[in-house]
Amino acid sequence: MNDSANPVSRRTDEPAAREQPLVAIVGGGITGLAAACELRELAPRAEIRLFEAQPRLGGVLQTERRGGYLLEQSADNFITDLPWGVDFCQRLGLAAELLPTTEGSRRAGIVSRGRIEPLPAGFALLAPSKVGPLLASRLLSPWGKLRLACEYFVPRRRQEGDESFANFARRRIGREAYERIAQPLVSGIYTADPERLSMQAALARFVEMERSSGSLIRAARRTSSASAARDQGPRYSLFVAPHGGMHALIAAAAQRLPRESLHLSSAVTRLQRVPDDRGGSTWKLQWRSESRPDPQQLRASAVVLALPSRAAATLLEGVDPPLADDLEAIEYAGCTIALVGCRREQLTAPLDGFGFVVPEVERRPILACSYASEKFPGRAPAGHVLLRVFLGGACHPEMNELTDVRLRELVLGQLGELLGLSGEPDLFHLVRWSDAMPQYYLGHTERVARIEGALRRWPTLALAGNAYHGVGVPQCIHSGQLAARRVAAALG
């Protein structure tokens, strides 16, 4: 969007005391767009200005079509057992676009001693709800299975307070089931260091299962029989994606907003509290756009920072240093995705399921591989497959430093060994993300509570995004909506 044609550019330093309040939303990813859409409904009187540093909206959610492949640069689906993603799609008129995962492919594999073994049916991250498939599985030794079964009798944890995921898992299900099953499954979601990942912040439902049932197995069996009795067939599969890819959400949300409210290529560089002309104070934002060499500014009645927490910290340094320090302290990790497209007959192994994850103990350079074309239709041309291979994460930052040539060599080598890939792929595309994944480490819950406590000093300021209460797309949408509700309430 061209800023010179933008009414805000001309309107500098205006008073905040105005009939129509102005709300500035900083960050044009899914969180900022969800906040903007919510605010349009809750406070139709408010004028919204959304600032995005990049020339296009969407943040990490970007979809590209190339040679018949549909390439997702980050998320390629979202979960439906949290309502916010599906609800948002319904409100945007996108519900009919949502594809379920392909029937029959809803299984995950785990690499074990060089082979891809199926995850035993009924195993949910840390807790098996079925015994039979576990006994038949080749993932664990007889001793590992016995130790896992003993989880039933492991006493509840006595100490209060948070615990790392690695500790919790080893304590409850034993070292082998942790190393061979739970660690790779959880790392596939959080790309985190398991010795530092906070159970409270990232996996609280398992802490609650232990607390309420005394055993994860007991709790998982109860939940699975209760949901079997309740379910008349789910309306959505556990994961869904828009037919045209994740960017469809971004495009549909942007369409709900007046064109003139969107400021692309506009990085907000400064946020201040300044006196208003009624003896109070208001927000003043400064931003730079590509089309104008000099910084521009405006005053806003309320501000939503829908940003990675470190970017929010930079803007809040001069406003509230202790709040900025807590935001700055949330760590992020990078990761690289290799998108590989090839003819199906170039693989000797069947693509059975959604893909596979790789335990650390296997000592391989990749974290996981998702069979994108097998999960959703329309991701690869007929007779071809699309694979998404993940590398890096918090435990392997060195992977993100490798050259494109070396990464290609490593990825194709691994796909050769594990899936029998031969010959040159017809697509090889690398997406490198630095600092895109917030790490919910021990102390995260307390830090977020402090951040939220500090926000009580600033009722017209809201923080939203993946750094606080969940990294997935539905949680981001929800956090944007909550931020909109907060500022709408403050504006009255």
# chain residues binding ligand FAD, by CB under 6 A:
36
Which of residues 83 and 132 has its CB atom nearest to ligand FAD in the complex? 83
Residue 84 in contact with ligand FAD, rule: CB under 6 A: no
For ligand FAD, the binding residues in 449-468 under the rule CB under 6 A are 465-466
Residue 371 in contact with ligand FAD, rule: CB under 6 A: no
Helix (H) or strand (E) holding 177: helix 175-177
Q: Specify whether the CB–CB gap between 491 and 43 falls below 8 A.
A: yes
Where does this chain touch ligand FAD (CB under 6 A) — which range of 1-9, 40-48, 306-314, 483-491?
A: 306-314
316: left (phi over 0), alpha (psi -120 to 50) or beta: alpha
Residue 436 in contact with ligand FAD, rule: CB under 6 A: yes
Helix (H) or strand (E) holding 417: helix 404-419
Residue 76 in contact with ligand FAD, rule: CB under 6 A: yes
Residue 182 is given by DSSP the state I
Where does this chain touch ligand FAD (CB under 6 A) — which range of 52-60, 146-154, 155-163, 359-367?
A: 52-60
For ligand FAD, the binding residues in 317-336 under the rule CB under 6 A are 335
Q: Which residues contact 320 (CB under 8 A, 6 or more apart)?
A: 454, 457, 458
Residue 302 in contact with ligand FAD, rule: CB under 6 A: no
Residue 372 in contact with ligand FAD, rule: CB under 6 A: no
Bridge partner residues of 305 (DSSP): 26, 463
Where does this chain touch ligand FAD (CB under 6 A) — which range of 104-112, 216-224, 291-299, 470-478?
A: 470-478
For ligand FAD, the binding residues in 259-288 under the rule CB under 6 A are 267-268
Which of residues 216, 254, 307, 327 is near ligand FAD by CB under 6 A? 307
For ligand FAD, the binding residues in 117-176 under the rule CB under 6 A are none
Which of residues 132 and 397 has its CB atom nearest to ligand FAD in the complex? 397
Q: Specify whether the CB–CB gap between 74 and 372 falls below 8 A.
A: no
Contacts of the segment 152-160: beta carbons below 8 A, 24+ positions apart: 152/215, 152/217, 152/218, 153/215, 154/215, 155/214, 156/210, 156/211, 156/214, 157/210
Which of residues 140 and 315 has its CB atom nearest to ligand FAD in the complex? 315
Where does this chain touch ligand FAD (CB under 6 A) — which range of 47-55, 177-185, 323-331, 408-416?
A: 47-55
Q: What is the CB-side half-sphere exposure of residue 56 using CA atoms within 13 A?
A: 9
Which of residues 437, 442, 448, 482 is near ligand FAD by CB under 6 A? 437
- Interatomic CA distance for residues 208 and 161, integer angstroms: 13
Which of residues 36 and 471 has its CB atom nearest to ligand FAD in the complex? 471
For the bound state, the minimum distance from the C-beta of residue 194 to ligand FAD, rounded and expressed in Å, comes to: 18
Which of residues 29, 184, 245, 392 is near ligand FAD by CB under 6 A? 29
Residue 440 in contact with ligand FAD, rule: CB under 6 A: no
Residue 154 is given by DSSP the state P
Residue 193 in contact with ligand FAD, rule: CB under 6 A: no
Q: Which residues contact 382 (CB under 8 A, 6 or more apart)?
A: none
Q: What is the CB-side half-sphere exposure of residue 440 using CA atoms within 13 A?
A: 24
Closest CA to 410 of 401, 249, 264, 202: 401
- Interatomic CA distance for residues 71 and 62, integer angstroms: 8
Where does this chain touch ligand FAD (CB under 6 A) — which range of 75-83, 180-188, 379-387, 410-418?
A: 75-83
Q: What is the CB-side half-sphere exposure of residue 446 using CA atoms within 13 A?
A: 7
For the bound state, the minimum distance from the C-beta of residue 170 to ligand FAD, rounded and expressed in Å, comes to: 27
Q: How many residues belong to the chain?
A: 492
Which of residues 78 and 123 has its CB atom nearest to ligand FAD in the complex? 78
Which of residues 8, 89, 369, 476 is near ligand FAD by CB under 6 A? 476
Sheet holding 355-357, edge to edge: 115-118, 108-112, 355-357, 368-371, 384-392, 332-343, 427-438
Residue 9 in contact with ligand FAD, rule: CB under 6 A: no
For the bound state, the minimum distance from the C-beta of residue 239 to ligand FAD, rounded and expressed in Å, comes to: 8
Which of residues 134 and 339 has its CB atom nearest to ligand FAD in the complex? 339
Tokens of 365: 């350079």
Interface residues with ligand FAD (CB under 6 A) are 26-32, 51-54, 59-61, 74-78, 267-268, 306-308, 311, 335, 337, 433, 436-437, 465-466, 471-473, 476
